[in-house]
Structure 1
Amino acid sequence: MTRRVGRFLRATVVGVLVVTAATAGAVAPPTDPARQAEYWLDDYGIRTAWQTTRGAGTTIAVIDTGIGRGPAEFEGAVSAGADFSGSGSADGRTPVGGDDRDHGSWVASLAASRGTGPDAGMIGVAPEAKLLSLSIGFGGASDIPFATQVADAMTWAVDQGADVINLSFTTNLLEWDPSWDTAFQYAYDHDVVVVVAAGNRGTGTDRVGAPATIPGVLTVGGVDRGGVASQEASTQGITIGISAPSEGLLGVSADGRIVVWDGTSGAAPIVAGVAALVRSAHPGLDANNVINRIIRTARAVPGVSAKPDPLYGYGLLDAAAAVTAAVPAVSENPMGDLAEWVRIYRRAEQAPAPQPTTSPIALPELPAADPPSEAGSPLLPSMNTLLYGTVPLVGATMAAILVALGVTAAVRRIRSARASR
């Protein structure tokens, strides 16, 4: 499992990081048009949602390779952090891994970076939300089992007051380690929205894998700039809840460089940022209803009627509608019930035995058994053997003798009569 996680993440970063050599290595100048390049801010209603809220009072936990300390875009954004890989720094701000080391910074910059000025530098979807930097290691970047890192990081994030947790990775497996049952349920029980990337078809992921298959998470699929399901930077599966941009995204690297990259690893934090906007605008709303607002206000995809659809989920993200629209409340997580899944498939609990619905019927007691007879010698006849054995046998024998004697006498008379003639 750990090896597959590492292979997927390396393929994601190496395969989709660079769109052109010029954009990948370029350092954004002070008047960089990065803000204008963030097409999702307008196309998905984020700037409109900012008229209501910019995410103040909320906290987004980014469980990834760590958020770099240097970039100005993160100044004042990261409130706390921790390392769970065993190879990072205590505050979770030292990037972990080789090719993946900037991944956590790119993800965080899409969710809640501050920009470098009022209209300059990259800005996140929820620029007034706080970030938690939880560093984990993919593949060979850590000796600690990957499942353990994620489970421990989830618990720590919840205990630190996260309102939203972002997980921009996949295992490429439908199933997950049982330790994640407890960790994810712990998040749900503490009213945390968990947002997960669906994975990228371009790296060989043909269907969603855990954690996107865990009931209750908001799984994010990716679309291109035209709103069409991305052929390379997304995958498909019935667990997808919402679609968001996954191509031509910007990301702030740990060293401050701005790069262009693709993948649902970037679509997920855009949705996580919107979840923070919803929670900021509606502080009394629980996690189930935050998720419900996001999927129920999604824009329809032309020609797609199924909801959820395996490519688009409930449709395209609409931040403005998610923040301001009137949406009926729900009492359950529309993305599923992990506790019920565990009860059925892990067999952690057994259904209670059915209770009788009628009173028992009283039956009369059976008559007492006959007292045992005294034991006798097997060589002496009993009453039963005399009555049913000896007497009938003697009678039959006597009858046979009498018949034989009668026949003999008759034969003699016949012979005597013949002789006298």
Structure 2
Amino acid sequence: MTSRRLLFTVVAAVAATTVAFPSPASAAPGLRGEQWYLDALKITALHDQGINGQGVTVAVIDTGVDAGHPLLAGQVLPGLEVQGGGNGQQDIDGHGTHMAGIIAAKGGPGPNDILGVAPGAKILPVKIRDDEKFLSQALGGGIRQAVDRGAKVINISLGNWSTPPSELTSAVQYATSKDVIVVAAAGNREAGGSDIGSPARIPGVIAVTGLDKQGAFYSGSVQGPEAVLSAPAERITGIDTRTPPNTGYSTADGTSDASAIVAGVVALVRQKFPQANAASVINRLLVTAEDVGPKGRDPQYGFGRVFPNRAFSTQVPDVTTNPLLAGASPGGSGGSPAATGKPGATGTPVAGGASESDDDATKPFRVLVGGIACLLIVAVIVLIVVLVLRRGRRKKAAAGPPFGAPPGSGPPWPSAGSTPPGVGPQQGGFGAPPGAGPSFGDATGPQPGPPAGPGSFGGPPPAGSGEPHTDTGWPPPPTGPSGPR
């Protein structure tokens, strides 16, 4: 084996030892394979740990829910129709069923078995009739009845008012007083709005803006200072009502879907920390959000992109007051404000408000891999020195001159390729979604096409790239992965 080929073999061994990136695309077939947001948020890894929302009831205040859908069988409780006599288990429109599926669809072995964020949770449907969608009295009544029927999380993927009506504000305050978390869509630009509407803008509510598949701000989402968290909002594949002409499946864009995703995450946290009050659950999500855009809270991402894994691996103090309420002290008595402007977490705050306790379970493995990588790199350097010295000795023996510097300094170390920067806050390229839904609404369309690949946020950026060195032909040593921002 030539010295050059030997050196390439050693460099390749270093690369194989130090670089371990996730697959860039889901290998799952069918519609299940198009649920890119589950991979981006690493939801199934939580399910594998038994964190699936079991024991938590999530109210979906919407157009009703098709309780007979096979992927919701046994998931939907008897609900109600506000100012009506129904139980909320029928859905002509499909919007409410789509939201319920994002939260709690059961999944299964089939390629089209859509999986929810919290498949162990139960759905309490609260139907707002078509002629009452934007009536604050009906929506306020729905919130109160959802609280009284045992919901611990309420998802509201609809809204309208720039100035919240008093009866709606009162209903949200009632939910807060009963230890219930209200999650609401910020709103979509295609619906004609530019500011965050109510109930999302009401203090105490988790107002959710949208992200595209690259983790950047979704261009169809409204924005504003009331933004709290951001979540996937582009090409969200899920279920739909089976009422003709609907097929039982659909793909949609919009903050309605983002809100449902966050509601599912809240259900996971409430299952994992059953003794934590609503204020502490909200505080945990804010502290562990992945901070992007301007440092701290900003109008597009709020406190950051929802980051479920951090929510379960970070030590966060309990608080007594909802940190989203005016006059509340972020972090509570047990914490201090982090440098990012987020509520406080125990440990040393790092990017995104998480503590250095993140990924403690993988630390021994990372130390081992790092040690092996360092040894191999040292071996490569030693090998280069030996090769240079041998080359000098050969030339000296052939020419027989007095001692002098060997000609040339040996092959230069190939320069590392540039690592693409982490996902930034730039505007996503997706235009306003076509067609308005029933409220903020999602543009539900035909069966989705092939996915464009999972989003990159919440994980490491791609490996470094670069052209091979022109002097030697050796590829540059790959750069190691960097952690989340």
**TM-score, length-normalised on structure 1?**
0.67
Q: What displacement does 1:120 show? A: 4.9
Q: Tell whether the 8 Å contact from 2:237 to 2:250 is kept in structure 1 after alignment.
A: yes
Partner Cα distance (2:319, 2:62) in 1: 31
- Residue 151, structure 1, aligned to residue 140, structure 2: yes
2:89 corresponds in structure 1 to: 93
Structure 1 counterpart SS, 2:125:
strand
Aligned to 1:106: 98
Moved more, 244-253 or 274-283: 244-253
Report SS of the residue matched to 2:126.
Answer: strand
Question: For residues 145 and 252 of structure 1, do their structure 2 counterparts lie closer, same or farther at Cα, with a shift above 3 Å needed?
Answer: closer
How far the C-alpha of 1:182 sits from its partner, in A, is: 2.2
Cα offset, 1:183, TM superposition = 1.1
State the match for 2:201 in structure 1: 213
Q: Is 1:322 equivalent to 2:314 in the alignment?
A: no
* Secondary structure in 1 matching 2:79: strand
Q: 1:73 aligns with which of 71, 74, 79?
A: 71
Letter in 1 for 2:99: V
Q: Is the Cα contact below 8 Å between 2:76 and 2:89 reproduced in 1? A: no
Alignment partner of 2:78: what SS? strand
Larger mean CA deviation between 142-151 and 190-199 belongs to: 142-151
2:149 counterpart of 1:160: yes
1:130 partner letter: K
Aligned-partner residue type, residue 51 of structure 2: T
Q: Aligned pair 1:250/2:237, yes or no?
A: yes
Mapped contact 1:216–1:338 kept (Cα < 8 A): no
Question: 1:203 aligns to what?
Answer: 191
Measured in 2, the distance between the counterparts of 1:248 and 1:39 equals 9
Letter in 1 for 2:165: D
What letter is aligned with 2:187? Answer: G
* CA RMSD, 1 decimal: 2.0
Alignment of 1:51-70 (within 5 A): 51-70=49-68
Structure 2 vs 1, CA of residues 45 and 94 (structure 1 numbering), >3 Å: closer, same or farther?
Answer: same
Q: Does 1:224 align with 2:207?
A: no
Partner letter of residue 251 of structure 2? V
Change (3 A) 1:321 1:257: same
Q: Does 1:278 align with 2:269?
A: yes
TM-fit CA distance, 1:170: 2.0
Q: How many residues align?
A: 296
Map 1:231-310 → 2, pairs under 5 A: 231-232=219-220, 234-255=221-242, 257-301=248-292, 304-310=293-299
Q: Quick one: which amino acid aligns to residue 63 of structure 1?
A: I
Kindly indicate whether the alpha-carbon contact (under 8 Å) linking 1:58 and 1:279 is maintained by their aligned counterparts in 2.
yes
Q: Give the C-alpha shift of residue 144 in structure 1.
A: 8.8
- What do the CA deviations read for 1:382-407 (whole angstroms, capped 9, x no partner)? xxxxxxxxxxxxxxxxxxxxxxxxxx
Contact 2:181 2:205 in 1 (8 A): yes
Of 144-153 and 177-186, the range deviating more from structure 2? 144-153
Asked if the contact 1:35/1:123 (under 8 Å) is kept, the reply is yes
Q: Is 2:121 the counterpart of 1:133?
A: no
Tell me the CA shift for residue 221 of structure 1. Answer: 0.5
How far apart, in 2, do the equivalents of 1:330 and 1:55 lie?
Answer: 22
Number of the residue aligned with 2:469: none
CA contact (8 A) 1:197 1:219 kept: yes
Check whether the contact 1:109–1:124 (CA below 8 A) recurs between aligned residues: yes
* Paired residues of 1:32 and 1:121 also in contact (CA < 8 A): no
Unaligned runs of 5+ in 1: 1-30, 340-421
Task: Check conservation: 1:52, 1:281, Cα contact below 8 A.
Answer: no
Shift in Å, 1:93? 1.4
One-letter code aligned to 2:167: S
Bigger mean CA offset, 158-167 vs 32-41: 32-41
Report runs of 4+ in structure 1 exceeding 4 Å deviation: none
Distance change >3 Å, CA 121–CA 329, structure 1 → 2: same
| Residues in 1 aligned to 2:150 and 2:133: alpha-carbon distance in whole angstroms | 25
8 A contact 1:195–1:220 mirrored in 2: yes
Shift of 1:213: 1.1
For residues 306-337 of structure 1, the C-alpha deviation after alignment (integer angstroms, 9 at most, x for no partner) is 32110001111111111332112222211114
Compare the two structures and name the one with the higher helix fraction: 1
CA distance in 2, matches of 1:210, 1:298: 23
Distance 2:74 2:298 in 1: 39
SS of corresponding position for 1:78: coil
Aligned-pair distance for 1:260? 1.0
User: If you compute each CA radius of gyration, which structure gives the higher value, 1 or 2?
Assistant: 1
List per-residue Cα deviations over 1:188-241 (Å, max 9, x = no partner). Answer: 111001000000123221110111110000010101000111112x11011111
C-alpha distance 162-237 of structure 1, shift in aligned 2 (>3 A): same
Cα deviation, residue 146, structure 1: 1.4
Aligned partners of 2:235, 2:119: CA distance in 1, in Å?
Answer: 20
* 3-state SS in 2 of match to 1:250: strand
Q: Per the alignment, in what secondary structure is the counterpart of residue 267 of structure 1?
A: helix
